[in-house]
């Protein structure tokens, strides 16, 4: 067996940046941006009014004028007037461009309007330049508004639309197939016999990958050596990455490792000094295909996807991630000579500290327990006892509770 850090190094050594493609911005949600988005003009592009009210010259106000003659009304999108007397004002709406002859906006709440005159109330507090979002205040033309190597979110879509960027350069995603194996597995709609279970690991992995706009295909292989070999050979000819679940332990019907060898896949490691997920297998085909073969127990598969596959995928997509650490909120002990991935429930304390409460399940087959947790806490291999208040790395997979 190899240690977790070694397994991570081997997998990360197989990272190569994925190529790019151009997509319409409305179809880019969830993809990874492969270019910086620049402002095509100043943001905002004009001195923008931020309150409904009147536009005045502050100089006239500072000299004692409190009643202004309304010369026109200007809505958002109207061409601003270019000339008015200092004793005049423009009734103006939010989003409108500031008239060249005005420099201050007084809210409707601070004025009374009678007979075409706007009278500023005595208790109003008026400051020069108030209620104006000045041209270029957010970004100047040519400045970066969204940097590359981030997921395209609704906020990125909004920025792309605002700068007229209708086509976005994004990273391609690899072609991935998820392969389950075992005669004990039946379809989701099937009523299983007492000795059978419904397949779930494949759909779990597929759902995780959809976060990255990656839609994987699903294949199931029965416990048959010849079929296993032929199906793996077919998938190697079609897909960039094979994610297998089950069939990699020491059982008589665990045909996956031999089939991979027969198909020319080089084993880079098999078995990691960890729990869950000890039988994890990883290899590479001479053509460049990668094979992640996870143990069949649901929690093992789930942990290995988050701990090993997603960091590899994110690196290939150019996503820069930071490690997350949480404070253990109770003492915990684990004595086997394995690096333990403890299921925890993360929450945020009143002081803003990320806390991790251990949740004891019933082993790597207890996938129902995942609903009550939201992260794995990676506990050091060289220790048995872990004390409340210590910080350890966590791998979140659900929303963090407040």
Question: What CATH code is carried by the domain that includes residue 84?
Answer: 2.170.190.11
CATH code, 198: 3.40.980.10
Asked whether residue 186 falls in the same domain as residue 246, the answer is yes
Phi, psi (rounded to 5 degrees) for 346: -85, 140
The Cα 286–Cα 327 span in angstroms is 43
Single residue among 171, 193, 217 that ends a domain in this structure: 171
Q: Is residue 235 part of a domain?
A: yes
pLDDT the model gives residue 371: 79
Asked whether residue 218 falls in the same domain as residue 290, the answer is yes
Asked whether residue 34 falls in the same domain as residue 148, the answer is yes
At residue 58, the 3 state secondary structure works out as: helix
Q: Is residue 211 part of a domain?
A: yes
pLDDT the model gives residue 109: 97
Q: Is residue 154 part of a domain?
A: yes
**Tally of domains in the chain:** 4
Single residue among 297, 317, 337 that ends a domain in this structure: 317
pTM of the model: 0.85
pLDDT the model gives residue 335: 92
E strands within 322-361? 324-328, 332-333, 339-348, 354-358
Asked whether residue 247 falls in the same domain as residue 158, the answer is no
Asked whether residue 305 falls in the same domain as residue 273, the answer is yes
pLDDT the model gives residue 362: 58
Asked whether residue 103 falls in the same domain as residue 180, the answer is no
CATH code, 359: 2.40.340.10
Based on its alpha-carbon atoms, the radius of gyration of the chain, rounded to whole angstroms, reads 31
Asked whether residue 220 falls in the same domain as residue 271, the answer is yes
Sheet bearing 176-181, strands edge to edge: 217-221, 176-181, 241-245, 290-294, 281-284, 266-270
Asked whether residue 124 falls in the same domain as residue 244, the answer is no
Q: Is residue 402 part of a domain?
A: no
Q: Is residue 401 part of a domain?
A: no
The Cα 385–Cα 383 span in angstroms is 6
Q: Is residue 267 part of a domain?
A: yes
The Cα 237–Cα 6 span in angstroms is 29
Asked whether residue 33 falls in the same domain as residue 167, the answer is yes
Q: Which residues pair with 324 in a beta bridge?
A: 394
Q: From first to last of the 402 residues of the chain, give the pLDDT tens digit.
A: 999 999 999 999 999 999 999 999 999 999 999 999 999 999 999 999 999 999 999 999 999 999 999 999 999 999 999 989 999 999 999 999 999 999 999 999 999 999 999 999 999 999 999 999 999 999 999 999 999 999 999 999 999 999 999 999 999 999 999 998 876 666 666 666 776 566 778 889 999 999 888 999 999 898 889 999 999 999 999 999 999 998 776 556 578 999 999 999 999 999 999 999 999 999 999 999 999 999 988 999 999 999 999 999 999 999 988 999 999 999 999 999 999 999 999 999 989 999 999 998 655 445 667 778 999 999 999 999 999 999 999 999 987 765
Asked whether residue 37 falls in the same domain as residue 166, the answer is yes
pLDDT the model gives residue 296: 85
Residue 138 CA, distance from chain mean position: 25
Single residue among 269, 287, 317 that ends a domain in this structure: 317
pLDDT the model gives residue 190: 65
CA atoms within 13 A on the CB side of 312: 23
pLDDT the model gives residue 138: 95
Asked whether residue 201 falls in the same domain as residue 304, the answer is yes
Q: Is residue 88 part of a domain?
A: yes
Its domain, for residue 185, covers 4-18+173-317
Q: Which residues of 15-41 are buried (b: 16+ CB within 10 A; e: fewer)?
A: eeebebeebebeebeebbbbeebebeb
Asked whether residue 150 falls in the same domain as residue 226, the answer is no
Cβ-in-10-Å burial (0-12, 13-18, 19+) of 276 comes to buried
Q: Is residue 309 part of a domain?
A: yes
E strands within 43-152? 48-49, 53-56, 67-74, 88-92, 104-107, 111-114, 117-120, 132-133, 144-146
CATH code, 157: 3.90.105.10
């Amino acid at each position: 067996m190899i240690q977790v850090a070694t397994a991570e190094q081997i997998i990360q050594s197989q990272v190569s940046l994925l190529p790019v493609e151009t997509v319409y911005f409305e179809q880019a949600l969830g993809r990874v941006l492969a270019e910086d988005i620049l402002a095509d003009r100043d943001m905002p592009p004009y001195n923008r009014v931020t309150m409904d009210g009147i536009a005045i010259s502050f100089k006239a106000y500072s000299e004692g004028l409190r009643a202004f003659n309304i010369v026109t009304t200007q809505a958002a999108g109207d061409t601003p007037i270019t000339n008015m007397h200092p004793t005049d004002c423009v009734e103006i709406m939010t989003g409108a461009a500031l008239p060249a002859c005005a420099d201050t906006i007084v809210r409707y709440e601070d004025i009374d309007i009678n007979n075409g005159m706007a009278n500023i109330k005595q208790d109003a507090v008026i400051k020069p330049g108030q209620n104006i979002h000045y041209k270029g205040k957010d970004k100047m033309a040519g400045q970066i508004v969204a940097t590359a190597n981030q997921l395209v979110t609704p906020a990125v879509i909004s920025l792309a639309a605002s700068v007229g960027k209708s086509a976005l350069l994004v990273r391609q995603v690899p072609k991935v197939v998820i392969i389950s194996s075992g005669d004990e597995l039946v379809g989701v709609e099937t009523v299983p016999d007492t000795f059978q279970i419904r397949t779930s690991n494949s759909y779990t992995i597929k759902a995780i990958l959809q976060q990255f706009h990656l839609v994987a295909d699903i294949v199931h292989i029965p416990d048959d050596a010849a079929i296993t070999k032929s199906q793996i050979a077919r998938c190697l000819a079609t897909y960039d990455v094979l994610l297998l679940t089950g069939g990699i332990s020491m059982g008589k019907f665990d045909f996956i490792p031999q089939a991979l060898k027969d198909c020319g896949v080089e084993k880079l490691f098999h078995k990691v000094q960890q729990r869950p997920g000890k039988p994890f297998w990883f290899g590479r085909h001479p053509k460049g295909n990668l094979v992640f073969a996870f143990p069949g127990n649901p929690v093992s598969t789930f942990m290995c996807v988050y701990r090993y596959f997603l960091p590899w995928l994110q690196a290939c997509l150019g996503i820069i991630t930071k490690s997350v650490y949480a404070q253990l909120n109770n003492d915990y002990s684990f004595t086997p000579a394995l690096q333990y991935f403890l299921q925890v429930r993360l929450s945020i304390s009143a002081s803003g500290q990320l806390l991790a409460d251990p949740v004891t399940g019933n082993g790597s087959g207890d996938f129902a327990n995942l609903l009550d947790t939201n992260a794995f806490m990676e506990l050091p291999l060289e220790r048995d006892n872990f004390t409340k208040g210590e910080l350890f790395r966590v791998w979140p997979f659900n929303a963090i509770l407040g």
